[in-house]
Chains A and B, each alone.
Chain A
Amino acid sequence: MIQIQTYLDVADNSGARKLMCIRILGTGNQKYAATGNIIIAVVKEAIPNMFLKRSEVVRAVAACTRKGVKRCNGMFLGFDDNAAVIVNQEGNPKGTRIFGPVARELREYNFARIVSLAPEVL
């Protein structure tokens, strides 16, 4: 359950470290973003000398959330932190590597490239 003002860790090597969600994209006035939803975020913390800088506005997709996902087999799967992968307009990740596990729901939202890069898909 990511909402506006939520800080997310960045799970890729695009240069940003922390993002703050400022808007959730989707139909209607969505209050919360779950795994697979795209959010608009501002970079709050960045590694120096990379192509993403602090206070840049980017698009990101929530890769894993603490609240977690409910699967059809009745399983609730929660992660250790709220993490996002920075994407461009088409939905392709801006970085070249993904760190940490991601949720399998990303495949259903057509983020196949992220899923293939991830070291662990759960």
Chain B
Amino acid sequence: MRLEKCWFCSSTIYPGHGIQFVRNDAKIFRFCRSKCHKNFKMKRNPRKVKWTKAYRKLHGKELNKDATFELERRRNRPERYDRNVVQNTIKALKRIEEIRLKREEKFWENRMKVKKDKRADLEELKQNIHLVKAPVALQEDPSLALPKKMEKVKVKVEMREAGETRAMEE
């Protein structure tokens, strides 16, 4: 039994799933489900279809060049059975899987970092808008409310409210 990869989306095909298609030049295309099979029949290029691993790796959304992928590469040289080799390979498999997952997470974090910082800032501004504008002022005049684009924020501080906050701080 061998776990193959879907030709279209690159997910693992477990036994009992999917369809295999043999072209007349004897090339086998394996699909994990009918979604991938139908996309193939429509002659779609997986490198252009956004949800496939091929697209994601090509467009830098996911880790693609890494030493941990070398283990899964197909080798056509048959290995003589050696008990120690098998045991070591099994241990290596688990460890390399862990390392690969960590590296993929790191890659994702790095990719999201820029956007995450902006999002955090936006949240902070929304929560603490009372430091910038008094809430009573916002209620009285809703036009003073936060605009959708955060580039320019008009700050109106009224003397009465400022005095109150100063009193609270004391």
Residue numbers of A with Cβ under 8 A of B are 64, 68, 73-81, 100-101, 119-120, 122
Instruction: Identify A101's interface contact among B1, B17, B19, B26, CB under 8 A.
Output: B26
CB distance from B40 to the nearest CB of A (A): 12
CA distance A64 to B21 in the complex (A): 11
- The chain B residue with its CB closest to the CB of A121 is B26
B21, A78: Cβ atoms under 8 Å? Answer: yes
CA distance A71 to B17 in the complex (A): 12
What total of chain B residues lie within 8 Å of the partner, measured CB to CB?
13
* Chain A interface, DSSP helix/strand/loop, else mixed: loop
Known contacts being A78-B19, A78-B20, A78-B21, is A73 close to B1, with CB within 8 Å? yes
- The chain B residue with its CB closest to the CB of A75 is B20
A122, B24: Cβ atoms under 8 Å? Answer: no
6 nearest interchain CB pairs?
Answer: A74-B16, A120-B26, A101-B26, A80-B24, A76-B19, A77-B20
A74, B15: Cβ atoms under 8 Å? Answer: yes
B22 within 8 A of A: yes
B58 within 8 A of A: no
Most A CB contacts (10 A, CB to CB) among B20, B22, B23 go to B22
Known contacts being A73-B15, A74-B15, is A100 close to B20, with CB within 8 Å? no
CA distance A74 to B17 in the complex (A): 7
CB distance from B141 to the nearest CB of A (A): 68
Residues in B neighbouring A122, C-beta threshold 8 A: 22, 26, 28
Residues in B neighbouring A77, C-beta threshold 8 A: 19-22
